[in-house]
Amino acid sequence: MVPRRCGFRTVQRHGINMTNAPSQRRLRRSNQPELASRFATLAQEAALCRACPRLAERGAVLGPPNGSLTPRVLFIGEAPGRRGADRTRVPFHGDASGRCFEYLLASAGLTREEVFITNAVLCCPADDARNHPPTTAEVRQCGRFLGRTLDMLRPPVVATVGAIALRSLGYLIKHRWHLSEVSGTIIRLQDFLLVPLYHPSPRVLHTVRSQSQQEADFQILARCIQASRPRKPRAGARPTAT
C-alpha cells in the first residue's frame, strides 16, 4: 500500500497526540548516563569490527559526532563518503552531499544537536578515486549495528536518506516499499514514524529529485517531528537483522 503524500494527514490518521511528550522526554533524559555508556560500548564494538573485508580498514563512523542520543529524528544514510564522513568522521559533513544535507536540515528548522545521523554501513565503501555503493552482503552485515542503534536510541521518527538506506531498514523490519513510491510520505512502522527521503547528492538533485522537491520533503519531515512524541524507554520489540 502506498501511503498518501500528504504526510500530516497520515499522522493524524494514526491518532498521534502530544499529551505525554514532556514526561517521557524527562524520563529519557534521566537515563542519559546509562545511555551514553551503552552507546560508547556500541561505538567501540563498531570500531573493532572487521566483518567486511573490503571496508574494515576505513574505520566505522559511529561516535559522539553522530548526534543526540535522544534524537527527535534518526537519519539513516547510505555510507560514509570518501570526501565527507570518512575524512571528517561526521556523517553528512565535508562533501557536496553533506553541504546539501546541512542546508535541507536547516530548512526544516533542525540542528545537528537534536538529530542523530548514521548509515546503512558504518565504514566507507570507496576506493581512492570514487565512492561505491555498499553490497547487499555488507548492508546486511552492518544491520546488527543499525538495529542496536535503533533499539538503543528509540527515535520517534526515522528518516531514510536514499534507496539503500530504505532497503537497509527493510532487512531489520520487513517492508516492500520502493523509494519512488513512498518518498516524502509518513509511514507508521512498528512504534515509530518513517519518512523516506531521497539522497541529497548532486547526481540525485540533477536527475531524480530536485532541490525544491527535497525541501518540500524536509518540510513534511519537520511536520512529522512536531506531531510525534518520544517513545517510552525499553518498550517494544527490538529490530533484528534477517
Minimum CB separation from ligand SF4 for residue 142, in Å? 3
Pairing type for strands 192-197 and 187-189 reads antiparallel
Minimum CB separation from ligand SF4 for residue 167, in Å? 15
SS percent in the chain: helix, strand, coil, step 5: 45, 10, 40
Minimum CB separation from ligand SF4 for residue 209, in Å? 26
Question: Given the complex with ligand SF4, which of 2 and 137 has the nearer CB atom?
Answer: 137
CA dist 104 to 107, 165, 168, 207, 216, Å?
5, 18, 22, 18, 9
Which residues are 159's β-sheet partners?
75, 195
Question: Given the complex with ligand SF4, which of 110 and 121 has the nearer CB atom?
Answer: 121
∠ Cα 12 13 19 (to 5°): 45
Q: Are 158 and 192 a contacting pair, CB within 8 Å?
A: yes
Minimum CB separation from ligand SF4 for residue 215, in Å? 31
Question: Given the complex with ligand SF4, which of 110 and 124 has the nearer CB atom?
Answer: 124
Question: Given the complex with ligand SF4, which of 7 and 147 has the nearer CB atom?
Answer: 147
Q: DSSP state, 134?
A: P
- What is the C-alpha separation between 187 and 231, in angstroms, rounded? 16
Question: Given the complex with ligand SF4, which of 3 and 91 has the nearer CB atom?
Answer: 91
Minimum CB separation from ligand SF4 for residue 126, in Å? 12
Interaction site with ligand SF4 (CB under 6 A): 46, 49-52, 55-56, 60, 121-123, 138, 141-142, 145
